[in-house]
Chains A and B, each alone.
Chain A
Amino acid sequence: MKKSKFRSSNALSRREMLTGMAGLGALSMVPPAFAQAAQAAAAKAAANGKVLVILELSGGNDGLNTVVPYGDDAYYRQRPNIGIPKNKLRVIDDHFGFNPGMAGFERLYKDGKMAIVHGCGYENPSYSHFTSMAYWHTAAPNSGNEYGWVGKLADAIAPSAPPNYLVNIAARQSLAVRSEKHVPVVFDDPNRFMREAFAAEKDALNAVPEIGESENSSRSFLLDIARSANDASALVRDAWTKYDSPIDYGVNDLDLQKVVALLDAGMPTGLYYVAYRNNAFDTHVFQNNLHRRLLTYTSDAVAGFIQDLERIGRADDVALMIFSEFGRRVPENVSLGTDHGAANAMFVVGNQVKGGHYGELPSLTELAEGDNLAYTTDFRKVYQSMTQGWLGHSDSNKLLGGNFGTFDLFS
């Protein structure tokens, strides 16, 4: 059979993989416990002990009705029906007010714990949820990358790939956390984060042998992965069982309670990825009531998260970045909603954040193609602000494909 010309020189042939290569030592992916602890400590040191949590608002959140520029008349001209009047807003300064549902965000902003970065986007924006989200996930707009930016960040910060460093709470793994070296811990319901089995089989299934030296490196790898999965799931279930918080996260905690549970249990995770799922923010029709509810849930969850971090004494160690794959068109549509747009606001929240407005305000009159906000900040500048300014990783060229500069977001 003709070999594929795309075959990597590092790939094992099927025969080699199945039967093992003679003389090849064990490829131990999970070192002994003391080495794991050392790796976890090294990873923590590499990230300055800091934790980054990313919250994705899927569907294209309407930034203009989130942080409303009531001080600009153009906003009301473009949105005569769905524009929110000033007297309904949660006013934060002489130009902006939060959507009425966002009591939590208002509190966080006024406490100086929230940075709002305006006009975030990229050149030649895609109006497809899937395409644009993939660009944000890989930090490679109009291009692409095999790995997600959060996965690459984990590889850069913790190249020895200690277990449980990267956690994605979701129904399925996000492209954002796809990593070359790390195996992200991906789960949805902690109570169901285990192998399904008949009752009689449970003990047998959970027993993954320590095989030490093996002539079959593939077998060693698979057993290490299985053991890692068993250990991670046990840690997660245990952390969730022990978690007990009086903090009110509102209707939908957006999995942020699980993040706090893992932090409180001492899980050695530096990077967390959660999302408001299922394109919830795709508000094409009768937007205002639905959007207000979505923002209320988001705002309550984030505010609860920060309070819960204070409760467990980790508020100074954690920063939360919130984004959406695009904003929405400036003019409202005939269905009292808004359609897919471009530039949008991003939010960075945390005790160490220097609150305020960042980035140049996009114009509501000099619009880009399709009556969209023209971006003024490359979203990768916010990413770099997190990776460099928060986590202390300086090689942005390799991580993000360039040097996009940083905002001075952290004290």
Chain B
Amino acid sequence: MAIERVKPIPRHTARINLSEMILEQDIETTDEAVSYLLARFMRVQPGSETRSMLIDFLSQDLGTSSIVDAQSYMEDSLRLVLHLIMSQPEYQLS
């Protein structure tokens, strides 16, 4: 039967801890956090406009530009920023 043949594909979120990665680097601002993520995940760096967009996005989503202040709740926001980074056309050049 068709139902018996369907094998469920296990799905789970990425098992990474971006907050831990950021804090280990002693990063204090959203500017530094974006710089770190771009250096870590992109082979060809995007332009200044994209960088500014990511910094503004992270700051707005956190409600602050201080990573220190946001460290207890910043994981979701960092994941969104990472998703944006991986959605950039330049990410294909990685």
Answer whether residue A200 sits at the interface, using C-beta atoms and an 8 A cutoff: yes
* Residues on A with beta carbons closer than 8 Å to the beta carbon of B49: 207, 209, 211
Let me know if B87 and A195 touch, CB within 8 A: yes
Answer whether residue B68 sits at the interface, using C-beta atoms and an 8 A cutoff: no
Answer whether residue B40 sits at the interface, using C-beta atoms and an 8 A cutoff: no
Let me know if A201 and B44 touch, CB within 8 A: no
What CA separation (Å) do A69 and B93 show in the bound complex?
A: 58
Let me know if A218 and B47 touch, CB within 8 A: no
Closest partner residue, chain B, to A20 (CB atom) = B44
Answer whether residue B71 sits at the interface, using C-beta atoms and an 8 A cutoff: no
Let me know if A222 and B89 touch, CB within 8 A: yes
Q: How far is the CB of A22 from chain B (nearest CB, A)?
A: 15
Let me know if B47 and A209 touch, CB within 8 A: yes
* Residues on A with beta carbons closer than 8 Å to the beta carbon of B87: 195, 197, 201, 205
Let me know if B93 and A17 touch, CB within 8 A: yes
Answer whether residue B39 sits at the interface, using C-beta atoms and an 8 A cutoff: no
Q: Select one of B53, B80, B89, B92 contacting A200, CB under 8 A.
A: B80
Per-position 1/0 for B25-49, Cβ under 8 A of A: 0000000000000000001100101
Answer whether residue B84 sits at the interface, using C-beta atoms and an 8 A cutoff: yes
Answer whether residue A129 sits at the interface, using C-beta atoms and an 8 A cutoff: no
Q: How far is the CB of B73 from chain A (nearest CB, A)?
A: 15
Residues of chain A from 259 to 305 with CB closer than 8 A to chain B in the complex:
none
Answer whether residue A235 sits at the interface, using C-beta atoms and an 8 A cutoff: no
Answer whether residue B61 sits at the interface, using C-beta atoms and an 8 A cutoff: yes
Residues of chain B from 50 to 94 with CB closer than 8 A to chain A in the complex:
50, 53-54, 57, 61, 80, 83-84, 87, 89-90, 92-93
* Residues on A with beta carbons closer than 8 Å to the beta carbon of B83: 198, 201
Q: How far is the CB of A196 from chain B (nearest CB, A)?
A: 10
Q: A209-B50, A219-B90 are in contact. Are A19 and B44 (CB under 8 A)?
A: yes
What CA separation (Å) do A410 and B53 show in the bound complex?
A: 54
Q: How far is the CB of B11 from chain A (nearest CB, A)?
A: 16
Answer whether residue A251 sits at the interface, using C-beta atoms and an 8 A cutoff: no
Residues of chain A from 189 to 227 with CB closer than 8 A to chain B in the complex:
195, 197-198, 200-201, 204-205, 207-209, 211, 216, 218-219, 222-223, 225-226
Let me know if B47 and A211 touch, CB within 8 A: yes
* Residues on A with beta carbons closer than 8 Å to the beta carbon of B93: 17-18, 218-219, 222
Let me know if B57 and A18 touch, CB within 8 A: no
* Residues on B with beta carbons closer than 8 Å to the beta carbon of A18: 43-44, 93
* Residues on B with beta carbons closer than 8 Å to the beta carbon of A204: 53-54, 57, 84
Q: How far is the CB of A404 from chain B (nearest CB, A)?
A: 40
Q: How far is the CB of B94 from chain A (nearest CB, A)?
A: 9
What CA separation (Å) do A18 and B43 show in the bound complex?
A: 8
Let me know if A207 and B53 touch, CB within 8 A: yes
Which of B43, B61, B93 counts the most A-chain CB atoms under 10 A from its CB? B93
Q: Select one of B53, B54, B92 contacting A222, CB under 8 A.
A: B92
Q: How far is the CB of A188 from chain B (nearest CB, A)?
A: 21
Residues of chain A from 82 to 99 with CB closer than 8 A to chain B in the complex:
none
Closest partner residue, chain B, to A222 (CB atom) = B89
What CA separation (Å) do A195 and B89 show in the bound complex?
A: 12
Q: How far is the CB of B14 from chain A (nearest CB, A)?
A: 15
Q: How far is the CB of B2 from chain A (nearest CB, A)?
A: 17
Q: A209-B49, A216-B44 are in contact. Are A201 and B89 (CB under 8 A)?
A: no
Let me know if B89 and A223 touch, CB within 8 A: yes
Which of A19, A201, A204, A208 counts the most B-chain CB atoms under 10 A from its CB? A204
* Residues on A with beta carbons closer than 8 Å to the beta carbon of B44: 18-19, 216, 218-219
Which of B53, B57, B89 counts the most A-chain CB atoms under 10 A from its CB? B89
Known interface pairs A18-B43, A18-B44, A204-B84; 15 further A-B residue pairs with C-beta atoms within 8 A, sorted by A's residue number: A197-B87, A200-B57, A200-B61, A201-B84, A201-B87, A205-B84, A205-B87, A208-B89, A209-B47, A211-B49, A216-B44, A218-B44, A218-B93, A223-B89, A223-B90
Spell out B's residues near A (CB within 8 Å): 43-44, 47, 49-50, 53-54, 57, 61, 80, 83-84, 87, 89-90, 92-93
Spell out A's residues near B (CB within 8 Å): 17-19, 195, 197-198, 200-201, 204-205, 207-209, 211, 216, 218-219, 222-223, 225-226
Query: What are 27 sample pairs from A and B whose C-beta atoms fall under 8 A apart?
Result: A17-B93, A18-B43, A18-B44, A19-B44, A195-B87, A198-B80, A198-B83, A200-B61, A201-B57, A201-B83, A201-B87, A204-B54, A204-B57, A204-B84, A205-B87, A207-B49, A207-B53, A208-B89, A209-B50, A211-B47, A211-B49, A218-B93, A219-B90, A222-B89, A222-B90, A222-B92, A223-B89
10 A-B pairs with the lowest CB-CB distances in the bound complex, closest first: A222-B89, A209-B49, A226-B89, A204-B57, A223-B89, A211-B47, A18-B93, A219-B90, A204-B53, A204-B84
